[in-house]
Amino acid sequence: MSLIRSLKLVLSPPHPAGRPFLAGAGVAALAGALSGGRLRWLRTGGVLFGGFCLYFFRDPERTAPSRPGAVVAPADGRIVSIMQVPPPPELGMGSEPRWRVAIFLSVLDVHVNRMPITATVTRIAYHEGQFLNASLDKASDENERNALALKLADGRDMAVVQIAGLIARRILCDAREGDDFITGERFGIIRFGSRTDLYLPPGVEPLVSVGQTMIGGESVIAQL
């Protein structure tokens, strides 16, 4: 990664979901500064927490590949699992196994979720669950999650699932059923460590391997 791109990544404007946290950090820092030194720790804590929030909620611009049929990563992070499993039952997409690519997001990764391909959201299903380590395989089934069923222009379907992690406690999804999205467009964010699973259409195989690092909205996972 070039120095310029690295600086743009770190200095990217924050996602709107981070504004309440940044405001709280600012209030704490200001209160500490006005305390005459009695609450110096509050000022320091506010500045440090604000800096962390600016980094965590950074929302860089991404350029999706122009290649027709390219399926891109729905999130930044490391691929921790690639296997054939049925899609989440709450989406009603049948029980036929299909390739699932699971991406683990650490607290250092960009947590904005992006649409893997141009498609229409046909169903959104929230499932309550646990908050296990998101890098574990069983997190796909047992953790709290928000699943989106997508319909492609050629009639095939796909699914992307936002999964809460060990310290993540809030899944935000801006998409609504019936919404149309283009490849790489933002549709949500997960706060403080998480996982995003991508279920490919039947017959489509992943072009990536476990351990690879993905850039959401840019890294190609499969080709239709």
pLDDT at 42 over 90: no
d(CA 43, CA 30): 7
pTM > 0.75: yes
Same domain, 146 and 102: yes
Same domain, 115 and 43: no
* Catalytic residue, candidates 81, 135, 194, 219: 194
In a domain, 65, yes or no: no
Specify the number of domains making up the chain: 2
pLDDT digit string, tens, across residues 163-218: 987 665 678 899 999 999 999 999 998 877 688 999 999 999 999 999 999 999 99
pLDDT at 20 over 90: no
Quick one: what percent of the chain has pLDDT higher than 70?
Answer: 85
Same domain, 139 and 205: yes
Same domain, 126 and 193: yes
Counting every residue written for the chain, the total comes to 224
Q: Answer with the residue of higher pLDDT: 47 or 114.
A: 114
Structural domain boundaries enclosing 51? 3-56
Same domain, 38 and 88: no
What DSSP element (H or E) covers 122?
strand 119-127
In a domain, 154, yes or no: yes
Report which of 214, 219, 218, 222 is spatially closest to residue 104, judged by C-alpha positions: 214
Same domain, 123 and 176: yes
Same domain, 85 and 183: yes
In a domain, 64, yes or no: no
In a domain, 63, yes or no: no
- What is the CATH number for 211? 2.70.70.10
Q: Would residue 194 show up in a list of annotated catalytic residues for this protein?
A: yes
Same domain, 44 and 86: no
In a domain, 120, yes or no: yes
Same domain, 89 and 184: yes
Same domain, 34 and 113: no
Same domain, 119 and 219: yes
Query: Residue 34: CB partners within 8 Å, gap ≥ 6?
Result: none
In a domain, 25, yes or no: yes
pLDDT band, very low/low/confident/very high, at 221 (cuts 50, 70, 90): very high
Collapse the DSSP code of 135 into the 3-class scheme (helix H, G, I; strand E, B; otherwise coil) and give the result: coil
Same domain, 161 and 218: yes
The radius of gyration computed from the CA coordinates of the chain, to the nearest angstrom, equals 19
The CA-to-CA distance between both ends of the chain, in Å, stands at 28
In a domain, 171, yes or no: yes
What's the chain's average pLDDT? 85
